[in-house]
Amino acid sequence: MNLMDQIKSLFQEGDYKKSLVLIQKALVQGRGDADLFYMLGTVLFDKGDFLRAIKAFKKALTYDSNHIDSCIGLSILYNDLGKYELGQKIFEKAEKLRAQKKSSSFQAKAPKAKVTPKSSSIPDLFEELENQLVKESHYNLASEIKRQAEHYKRINYEADVRRYGSVFEPR
C-alpha cells in the first residue's frame, strides 16, 4: 500500500493522530494535492488548530478550486468561528459544485429530490445535509459532516457552560 493509500485509510478510520504523521511525511517528500491538504485541514480542525486548518483548506482549494470537501470543511470552520456570512457563501459554492457534478454525471439514475432547507439554524442544516448525503450514498462525507456537526454542538455547549454555568443541556 502506498503512502497516500495509507493516509486515506487511516483518515477514513478516524485515526487522525497516525494520519497526521503520514500527511507530514508526504508533505516533506514534496507531495501535495487537494485531498492531502483537505485531510490535513480536517485533522487540524479536529485538534482545535483553527488557523492552520483554514490555511490547509485554502491550500487544498489552490490545487483544486472545485474541491467540494474542502469548501464544506472551510464553511463549517468559518461558522464555528462566528464568520457566518463567509461560511454560508462557501457552503453555497460547495452546493453549486455538488449540483454541477451531479448533473454532469453520465450515470443513469433516477432524479433525486433537491433539499430545500427547512431551518435556519446551522446544526439543523448540517443534519438536513447529512440525511440527503446518506440517501445519495455519500456515506464518508455524511459521516464527516455528522462528526463536524457534533463538534459544532460541543463548541456551542462549552461556550454556554462558560457563559451561563453547567445547568444547560447541549443544544
What is the C-alpha end-to-end distance of the chain, expressed in Å?
A: 42
| 87 and 14 part of one domain | yes
Q: What is the pLDDT of residue 120?
A: 58
pLDDT means over runs of 10, the chain (171 residues): 90 91 92 92 92 94 93 90 90 87 55 49 65 57 64 60 52 44
| 2 and 85 part of one domain | yes
**CA–CA distance, 144 with 130 (Å, rounded to integer):** 9
Q: What is the pLDDT of residue 1?
A: 80
- How is residue 105 written as a grid cell? 454525471
| 116 and 47 part of one domain | no
**CA–CA distance, 128 with 136 (Å, rounded to integer):** 13
Residue 69 lies in a domain: yes
Domain edge (last residue) among 39, 73, 94: 94
List all residues 6 or more positions away from 75 whose beta carbon is below 8 Å from its beta carbon: 87, 88, 89, 90, 91, 94
Residue 101 lies in a domain: no
Q: Is the Cβ–Cβ distance between 126 and 141 less than 8 Å? A: no
Residue 99 lies in a domain: no
Domain edge (last residue) among 36, 61, 94: 94
Q: What is the pLDDT of residue 98?
A: 85
Residue 90 lies in a domain: yes
| 58 and 141 part of one domain | no
Amino acid at 153: K
